[in-house]
Amino acid sequence: MGTPSYMAPEQVNSVRQVGPGADVWAIGVMLYEMITGGLPFVGADTVEIIDNLRQKEAVAPSEKMTVPRDLETICLKCLRKAPEDRYLSAEALADDLRAFLEGRSISARPMSRVEKSVRWVRKNPSWTALVSATERSSRWG
């Protein structure tokens, strides 16, 4: 069936229900593990691990450490209980990870105008200084 800590809830219930959502789940577990250093669902034995992954929600990585909001959103979307609430494919997940790394809006949580502006300012400090200086000089001139 699989390694309990990496199994999707639907995989525990029936091997016949396993599809791309189970792969997205497993990638989400690995992403969670890379972010936090631990697994989202643990237990003393296999039965407890399976019970926890069926019944509990993963503790948000931000409750364990400082994590960028979009990265946490991506990770937790992978770990949603219902397969249809996760990324529809590993490719869609990869697209959001690329967008996160490039500072673009992710599909799991589109950026507001303010967030986009803040990211642009951080990525373009020279332009920001130039625009700011031009604005100041036009007010004084």
Find the range with the poorest average confidence among 36-40, 71-75, 121-125.
121-125
Q: Are residues 88 and 19 in the same domain?
A: yes
Residues ≥6 apart with Cβ < 8 Å to 35 = 61, 65, 67, 71, 72, 75
Arithmetic mean of pLDDT, 4-8: 91
> What secondary structure does DSSP assign to 117-134, as a single string?
HHHHHHH-HHHHHHHHHH
Instruction: Read off the tokens for 37.
Output: 């250093």
Residue 1 pLDDT > 70: no
Residues 120 and 83 in one domain: no
Write the pLDDT tens digit of every residue in 7-66. 999 988 776 677 899 999 999 999 999 999 999 999 999 999 999 999 999 999 999 999
Q: Do 96 and 139 lie in a common domain?
A: no
Give the sign of the dihedral formed by CA 124, CA 65, CA 26, CA 106.
negative
Say yes or no to pLDDT of 134 above 80.
Answer: no
Count of structural domains, the chain:
2
Q: Does residue 42 sit in helix, strand or coil? A: coil
The predicted pLDDT at position 94 comes to: 97
pTM: 0.75
* Interatomic CA distance for residues 133 and 105, integer angstroms: 28
Parent domain of 128: 111-141
Shared domain check, 77 and 10:
yes
Q: What is the CATH number of the domain that holds 11?
A: 1.10.510.10
Task: Work out the pLDDT band at 93, boundaries 50, 70, 90.
Answer: very high
